[in-house]
Every structure is written in structure tokens, then in C-alpha cells.
Structure 1
């Protein structure tokens, strides 16, 4: 629509809480045109009326002129603050022309060092006192970055309220991410975990990227470096995407699931990083931005794809990862739709990408915690199984040597500690006659009989081969002899079978109680071993103590 100066005038006496961008008219004018000539072109209807509450002219767009007619129907000046809620515009030339000929001009943009601004705000702002009557506001925008223009004209108090909300919300966001980053980095160092290290890099890159594109980086970290401000966003976007993909590949074990996909993703990361670095060397900021934004879109799709692969492979954490990727994509899509004017542009819709990423990193943290618990559970199970004899389910020698020192130290009167060494008589003949499978069944059953006859404080151990050991804690030699006799009786009476063949087996047992001569558990074991040798030498199937 070709606009006349009256068709989009704005009444300054009315508070405008939302953006006023749709009331502006825009035009591409020659690069050497003066402000007065631009105003003349506007008054002559050479500008086209905008229709969106936020306008986006794209990446590396030619300079744009925007103009609006402002009407103060009162008899006093009206104070307003012009806010262009974008922190990455290169050059802004802002001028106000009153109908009586007065003109004020301001230059803004991040090609100036931040300290050169007349306020400490991350957005571009100008304070005006609009005199009664008609004023014309002209804005020339030049930027290689996405030319997104949410423009507000508000009371200073209203803008301060918004700044206060932003301060609290960004403080919460940065604080939460930093705490999560510190915690996961400590886990990465403590556990020497590459997965936690990649996740820490992912969090760190997101934190720095958010600080950069929100304008806080230029405000807090590099206020004297406008050159870095020009390149920070594309470089940090690529680094963030690469860190996210490295984490995903490691966390979802993509290399194990599909080596070809793993190699393709790594190659893509290298190519895009080289593209942006090449653009930096050649000073082609537009190319770097196109590559970075394209990679950002591709990043979301790849994360969904990798999550789908993990779910298809029955990866326990694949569903949480997929849900996290979907939340991030929905948030990013909402922000994109708001910026392009497809849905209403509000502070919430613009920052939906941040909300989506917070949900994303929270779900990923939960998935990491779940994976950590699984790994720890498997580790504990492996440690437990390393101390268990797989055939009988009894403790093995390793478990005995870990348990025995504490028992030995806690037993003040060593005569209340008795060891029984048990050897199955003629067990080799059972293996030779009935086979090793049958022999294993015999050992398994004897282990069960031992477990059934143990008191709560006793310990049963498969000592090796057909030998077993029992620690009778809080039992004198005579008490242990009674327990061992019952055990030997049950072993001898059990009817073993191999097919139609029936057989029994007996046991020889050597008992030894602690005494003043036994200074170590090993000496007590030697004493019990001597008694076992005596029982076997004297005819087997008996107890010696």
C-alpha cells in the first residue's frame, strides 16, 4: 500500500503498550539520500505502509527507511521513549522533524562501542519530548544481521517496568543454567565422563550465545569491541550447535548404533565450522549469518533424527532426549513465527525459544541423571557379582577376604569365632561317572543346603572346587560342631540322581576356633585346613576339631 502522511499518523496522547511498527511506512531509497530528501519522499507518498507489528527485512538486507507521522493533540509536550527492541542492528539513524521546522537527530547501532551510548540499555532507545502538533519520525536502518524491527513508543515508567521484569527473568535463566553447568562440570571432572563434559560445553555455549544475542554480552562482557559484536552471534550459534550435536552423539551412543550417521554428523559440523571461519577471514558476515541460521534449523532436525534413531534402537534415554528436542524446536519455531509476524509479537512469544531451551536442558539433565543411575546400578551389580560364586550363589574368596577383617576385629573373644572347612568326599568320581553337568548340580545343591543351615550372623563361602568354608560368628567350638554335624547329615541324606541312577555324597569337615595363637584370619584358616586333612586321612565322612 502506498501511504500518504495522514493515513498512518499516531496519536501520542494514547498509551501504546504493544509495538507500533505496523503504523510505519518503509522504503528503499538511494544510499546517498539525505534525511531531508527522505522526509520529502515520505511526504510525497513514496513509502509503503507496513502491516505487521514486527517487520523482518531478512539477513544482509539493503538499508531501509521507516517513517511515521506523530500527532500531539495537546497543548503541552509529551515525553516518550522510542525503543527498538533489537540488540544486534549495525547502524540506526533516527531523526524527528516538527512541522515548525525543528529537527533532532541521533545515531545508534552496535557499530559504536557500547560505552558510547547515552544509557546503559541493551536495546536502542531515544528519549523525545514531542511538541504540540505534527512531528515526523524517520529511522534509517542498516544491518547485515537479521533486520528485525519491533518498535515501541512508550512512557519511561512503562519501559522501566519491562526492564525490571527482564532483569529478574534473565537473572533466573542465567543463574539456573550456571548452577546446572557448574554441577555437571564437577561431575565431568569427578567421574572423568566425556558425556558430562560435552553436556557442560552444551550448557556453556547456550549461556554465552544467549548473553550475546540478547545484548547482555555487548553490555557486560565486550563493551569496547564492536567488531566482535558483529561476529559473536554467528560464531557462537555454530559453536552451540556443534556442542549440542557432540553431546547427542555421545549420549545416545550413535557411533555404536550407526557409524555412517555418526561420521556424517561429524563431517557436517566440520564443514559448517570451516565455512563460518572462512567467512570471518574473508569478512563476509552475511555468508556467516546465512550458514549459522541454516545450521540452527538443521540442528533441530538432526537432534530429532538422532533421538528417533535412539528410540528405534530401544535406548532407554531416547524418549526423554526426543521430548527435549521437540520442546526446543517448538520454542524456536514460536520465536521465529513471532519475529516473522505470523503470530503476535510479545515478550513471551519472542522469548519462547529460551523457554524451550530451558525445558530442553532440564529434560536432558534428567536423562543424564537417569543414565548415571543406570550406570551406577550396573556397576554395583557387577561389583556384587564379582564377589558371588555364579554356580552356588555363595560368597567367593574375594568376598571372604573383604568381609573377614571386620568380623575379626569386632570379635574380642576369638574363641567365639569358629571356621569350618568342608570338602565333598570322592567328588572327582561323581564328575567321572555322571559328568561335569551333574557335578555342577551337586555343588549347587550343597550350596543351597549350606545357605539353609546358616544363622543370620554366619557366612558361607565356596572356597574352591568342591571345598566350602563357613564362618560361625559368635559360636564356640562345641556349638559349631553341633551345627556342622547337622549340616553333614543333611548333605549325606540328600538323594542325588542322574536319570534313573541314584547316589549320595558325604562331606569331611575340619573345625577350628580362634585362640591366642591365631593372630590373623589366615592362621585360623590354616588350623581348620589341618583338621580337614585329618578328617580325610582318617577315612572321610567325619568332623575333626
Structure 2
């Protein structure tokens, strides 16, 4: 026997000497889950009966548990917990036993009194729990004297055993707080889910679909491991209750990765990385499918937890990659991913007993995910605003002449066609075609830079020479066109003459300070029966007549 083995045996003997510690008084029960109060025994071989477990406890084979919440890993052997309770009063004491864990397969609770009388209760996923039972909750009545409470928990799921033993009033208050907090959590998540799914149906962007699927998978996962799914939706589906955790954990990871790829545009930033992440998602689903096909739930749980670890690390890395490439909304995505990571780590530390186990530390993963969902919703909204702004700018650029800033020929022609289908009272009544006289000579003698300056100044003069309800555009080269809404022949002539005069009055800086620019204008009135092609043609003909007459004049068609 090695020295280490000898020391371990000695420690076990010493623990056994203190196995029959003083009973815990019902007046001294903690409000938090029981931890160091337990004695524990790990079962090996054939399952023990409650009487065998009681005998093992009396023989000192149970060891003090220590300070942590009882917790073992995936596929751990069955665990027995023992607690001696003393009711010092003459009256019966009412207590509520609550195992705040909804993912154990087989839970058995035994209560021995001083006369070796025994009461038994059973729960867990293998038991058809009644509707309305979120997890095992059992009222206990303790007469005066000492009582032995034995708890056996078995199954492949992580062996986390947060047991509350409190008065009915404390249990009711704790359940009320949980009810309010879960109502807030589910209400917020369902609101985000519904809103974003409606956006997906409305605008068809797959980012909203993957985000909705991501939220939906988390809600289902949360419903499963908190027991609300069993409480509301599947109280009698014992097989689904056993497999829901690994399956929903896998769905949560896959949907989250699909959303990240789509939202961050990884396929454009790093196509090969996108294929790797997609391959990982396929491997996740295939591995879980193998576990289901072989009915190996321990393997399925190992896969699922490994996937969650990979997912929790991969999401911030993808966010950092997108941020480094200048994606504005990647910062919110990164903060959201870090929120989930911090929440998950806090819950893990609480489960392992490294930090204090309470409602907030145990549910930190839910808080982190809620913050994650809110930040991702903001990121989606910011991305939508950005894409809409880009779309509007693209439309404006497509409809705007880049040099002069007024409508180009295509946009102006579309406006003309749209107005032409209005009733005669609202149809434009006149059109003016404008051509700059001898513009080619300006480019040839003074250069294109001066020519561009002339065009921009003339466009500015035309805008300020017409009425607010009128429209203007660059028809091409040195030609401009104006739509006059509801203009009489006299009004059209006046506006055309004002444009001609203002163009002639333009002054330019050196080297074009001696340049005098004039324009020829053709005006065509619409009597309500012409086609828009006809009025364009007639205005153009009138403009050429003005040019042939020497330019710098207005000609009425």
C-alpha cells in the first residue's frame, strides 16, 4: 500500500468517526440549498434498498460532504445523501422538501422516524410526474424527535443536487420570486422572438429567421432544464424528458452558429472559415443523431456539453473577426457573446461550488442569455437601419446626376411617365428643354474642369429659377429639362425667360472670368391629350429652332 492510499484510508476512517454528527435542528435550517449539512455515499454494484442505506449510514460508511452543493459529472454512479433532522419542539413541524433540479432520471426520498417507520416518495424523468410538477417537491411532517432523511439520485445527467428544506412560507416566497423572474424572462424572449419572426416574414432576411430560431431553441432548452416544459407541455413524455436536454443543447448551438455566420457575413470575410463552421454544425447534428440511434444518452450529453463549450468560445471569436474587418454591428455581437460566456461561467462555478450557490449565480446563464438576446436585437436593428440607409443612398445615386446633383435622364423620364398617368388637373402642363449654346468650345478652350463648373452652376440656376412644385433634370451632355406643373402658356414663357436670363447673368472665376454663357430653350404646352413622348419631341424641336435662330432665346412649340 502506497503512502497516498494509506493517507486516504486514514482520512476515510476519521470521517467515519464523525459520521454520526449532531442532528440538524429544524430551527436552524438554512434558506439556501443544503450543502455541508449532508453526509454522502456513492453507490457501487447492486442498488441499495433504503434499509441498506440506513444501515450503511449507521455503520459510518457515509462521509461528511463538505461545503459544496452535491455535484458529480455526467454518467456518475448513484449518489445517496443523508441528513439527520431533529424537531426539538412538542408540535409537528411542517417542511417543504424541494429538489430544484429537473433533469435527474431517478429520485427517491425516504424519511425514517425514531421507530424505523418509513415514508417514501419518488420522482425524476423516469417517473410520470403529475401535471403541474416542475420538479420534485414534497411536504414533510416531522413530529418531535430525530428523523433520518435519505435521498438517492441516479441517471446519466450531471449530478447536481440543490435541495431546499424550508418552511412552507419560505418555499412559497421563493417560488413567487421565481415565478416573477421567469415571467419577465419568457415574456421578453417571446416578444423578441415574435417581433423578429414577423420581420423575417415581412422582409425575408434570413438573419431574422436564424435569430428567431436561436431564441426559440434557447427558450425550449430553458423550459427543459428548469422543468417548465414538464410543468406546462410534456408532463407525461418521460422519454422526451430524458433526451430533451442534449437534443435542445445541440439545436441551440447549431442555430446560434448559423445566425452568427449570416449576421456577420463570415462567408464573405472568410469563406473557408464559413465552411469549417458549417461542417462543425453538421458534425454536431450527426454526433447527436448517433447517440440517439444507439440510445446512449450519456454519450449524447457528453457531446452536447462539449458542443456548448465550443460554441461559447467560438461565438466571441467570430465577433472579433468581424469587428477587425470593420463591421459596425460586430461590437454589439461581441458584447452579446461575452455576456453569454460570463453568465455560463458563473453558473458553472456555482454548480461546481467554487462560488456561492443561489438563485442569481445558478441562473446567471439565463441572465447572460437575456442580455445577449437584447444586444443581438439591437445589433439586428442597427444592421437593418444601415442596410436601409445604403439602399436609399443607392437609389438616390441611381436617380441623381453625379456632377450636378439633379435628377438624371432615367429618373426624370420615370417621373414624367408617372405624372402623365395622373388626371388632367394634376398633370404637368408644360415642358422646357434647355441646351447650352456653344458648350463644346468651352471644353475645347478652357478645359473640362471649367466645363463641369459651368454645368453645375447652370443646374443650380435652373433649380432656383423654377417653382417648388416643378422638377428639373439633366437630359444628357449640356442639355437640361424642366417639368412645369399646372403652368399656363404665359407662366411657362415667364419661367423659361427667367431661366434664360439667369444663365446669361452667370459669372465665373478665373480663368473663365470673361466667359459669357447663354442657352437656347424650347417650351411645349400640353393640352391634356398628348403623350409624354410627343411633348418631349416637340420641346426638343422648339429648342433646336431657338438654336438655329442664333441661340440665347426661348422658342414656344
TM-score by length of 2: 0.90
Number of equivalenced pairs: 540
State the distance in 2 between where 1:77 and 1:41 align. Answer: 28
Match of 1:60 in 2: 75
Q: CA RMSD in A?
A: 2.6
Q: Deviations for 1:51-76, whole angstroms, at most 9, x for unmatched residues?
A: 22512111110111111111111223
2:127 aligned residue: 112
CA contact under 8 A between 1:95 and 1:139: conserved in structure 2?
A: yes
Match of 2:153 among 129, 141, 146: 141
Q: Choose 197-206 or 475-484, whichever is displaced more.
A: 475-484
User: What SS is found at the alignment partner of 2:177?
Assistant: helix
Residues 451 and 460 in structure 1, CA contact (< 8 A), matched pair in contact too:
yes
* Range with bigger deviation, 452-461 or 209-218: 452-461
**1:237 to partner: Cα distance:** 0.4
- Contact 1:423/1:468, CA 8 A, preserved across alignment: yes
Contact 2:108 2:122 in 1 (8 A): yes
2:301 match: 289
Q: Distance in 2 between matches of 1:311 and 1:46?
A: 57
Specify the alignment match of 1:4 in structure 2.
18
SS in 2 for 1:21: coil
Counterpart in the other structure of 1:328? 340
- 1:9/1:23 contact within 8 Å kept: no
Q: Residue 383 and residue 239 in structure 1: after superposition, are their counterparts in 2 closer, same or farther (change >3 A)?
A: same
Structure 1 pair 161/418, CA: closer, same or farther in 2 (3 Å)? same
Contact 1:477–1:511 (CA under 8 A) maintained in structure 2? no
How far apart are residue 499 of structure 1 and its match?
6.7
Alignment of 1:510-529 (within 5 A): 510-515=522-527, 518-529=529-540
Partner of 1:272: 284
Aligned to 2:547: 536
What CA distance in whole angstroms lies between the structure 2 residues aligned with 1:302 and 1:520? 63
Aligned to 2:57: 42
Residues 1:69 and 2:97 aligned together: no
Q: SS of the residue aligned with 1:158? A: helix
Matched residue, 1:304 = 316
Q: Which residue of 1 aligns with 2:269?
A: 257
Paired position in structure 2 for 1:201: 213
Once residues 525 and 456 of structure 1 are traced to their aligned partners in structure 2, the CA distance between those partners, rounded to angstroms, is 22
Match of 1:151 in 2: 163
CA contact (8 A) 1:497 1:503 kept: no
- 1:10, distance to aligned residue in structure 2 (A): 0.9
What CA distance in whole angstroms lies between the structure 1 residues aligned with 2:508 and 2:107? 96
User: d(CA) in 1 for partners of 2:426 and 2:299?
Assistant: 83
**d(CA) in 2 for partners of 1:218, 1:322:** 34
Partner of 1:26: 40
**In 2: Cα distance, 1:501 partner to 1:454 partner:** 26
* Residue 179 (structure 1) shift: 1.8
Partner of 1:102: 117
Deviation at 1:529, TM superposition (A): 2.7
CA contact under 8 A between 2:425 and 2:486: conserved in structure 1? no
Alpha-carbon distance between aligned partners in 2 of 1:379 and 1:2, rounded to the nearest angstrom: 75
1:85 and 2:129 aligned? no
| Runs of at least 5 residues in structure 1 that lack an aligned partner in the other structure | none
Distance in 1, Cα, partners of 2:367 & 2:475: 60
Aligned to 2:236: 224
Secondary structure, counterpart of 2:399 in structure 1:
coil
Instruction: Tell me: CA distance 1:276–1:388, structure 2 relative to 1, closer, same or farther (3 Å).
Output: same
TM-score (norm 1): 0.92
CA deviation profile, 1:391-424 (whole Å, cap 9, x unmatched) = 221112343345445598587498x943221122
User: What is residue 11 of structure 2 aligned with on the other side?
Assistant: none
- Structure 1 stretch 124-133 or stretch 431-440: which is displaced more? 431-440
| 1:350 aligned partner | 362
CA distance in structure 2 between the partners assigned to 1:344 and 1:521 by the alignment: 80
Deviation at 1:454, TM superposition (A): 3.3
Segments of 5+ residues of structure 2 without an aligned counterpart are: 1-14
In the TM superposition, what is the alpha-carbon distance from 1:536 to its structure 2 partner? 2.7
> Contact 1:13 / 1:74 at 8 angstroms: preserved in 2?
no
**Distance in 2, Cα, partners of 1:104 & 1:466:** 100
User: For the structure 1 residues 39 and 457, does the alpha-carbon distance in structure 2 shift closer, same or farther, using more than 3 Å as the test?
Assistant: same
Instruction: Kindly indicate whether the alpha-carbon contact (under 8 Å) linking 2:98 and 2:138 is maintained by their aligned counterparts in 1.
Output: yes
Q: Assess, with a 3 A threshold, how the Cα gap between structure 1 residues 23 and 348 changes in structure 2: closer, same or farther.
A: same
**Counterparts of 2:460 and 2:43, CA distance in 1:** 94
Alpha carbons of structure 1 residues 358 and 283: separation in structure 2 relative to 1, 3 Å = same
